Amino acid sequence: MNYLNKARNLFACVMVMLACAAIPGMSLAVEVTIGEFPEIDRLERELERGVSTTEDIERVLGKPSGYGRALSGIDGKHRDVWYYEEIEASVIDSKGSVIRMHAHQQILLIFLLDEKLDGFQWYSNAGALKGTRPGLMGDNEAGTSK
């Protein structure tokens, strides 16, 4: 499923929420961080599909940020999902109606079958967000993310 893209869209919205919420008096020198990303290269080097256990995964990648579950129509099997994430956002500047931000997001999903590693997906980006304060724009463009 294309859940990583969906997650990215949701997180972009949330980062705008967070960055704004973390700006007391609209002071701009602020950085917001959520989570801590594991060393991704250790995943292929130290873990093995169908062999590595939940204990192995936690030892190599650390404790996950969250959990979930999946059911695949391909084989009809349930899988547990472990979720790792790190999101950093910092405000670059604020000019007029526009707040410009740096955003860096990394997401890793681990799929477990019978408590053993069955697969993974990870995603990382370095992008920019631009939000516009409401009521200050002259046209219908209210905000963008990319």
Partner 1 sequence: MNKLVNVLFALVLIALIGGCAPTLEYGRWPDTAKLDSLELYKSDMDEVRAVLGEPHGKGMGRTPDFPELATIWTYEYAVTTGTASDFSILLIGFIDGRFYGYTWFSSQQKTRVSH
Contacting positions for partner 1 (CB under 8 A): 1-3, 6-7, 9-11, 13-14, 16-18, 20-27, 29-35, 65-74, 76, 81, 83, 85, 109, 131-134, 140-145
Shortest distance in whole angstroms from residue 94 CB to partner 1: 12
Q: What's the rounded Cα separation, in Å, for the pair 117 and 58?
A: 11
Residue 45 CB, nearest distance to partner 1 (Å)?
24
Minimum distance of partner 1 from residue 125's CB (angstroms):
16
Residue 29 token pair? 């020198």
Q: Which is nearer to partner 1, 51 or 135 (CB)?
A: 135
Distance CA(119)–CA(64), nearest Å, equals 15
Whose Cβ is closer to partner 1: residue 49's or residue 67's?
67
90, 104 contact by CB (below 8 A): no
**Using CA atoms, how far apart are residues 12 and 19, in angstroms rounded to an integer?**
11
In the complex, minimum distance from the CB of residue 107 to partner 1, in angstroms, rounded to a whole number: 9
Running DSSP on this structure, what letter comes out for residue 53? B
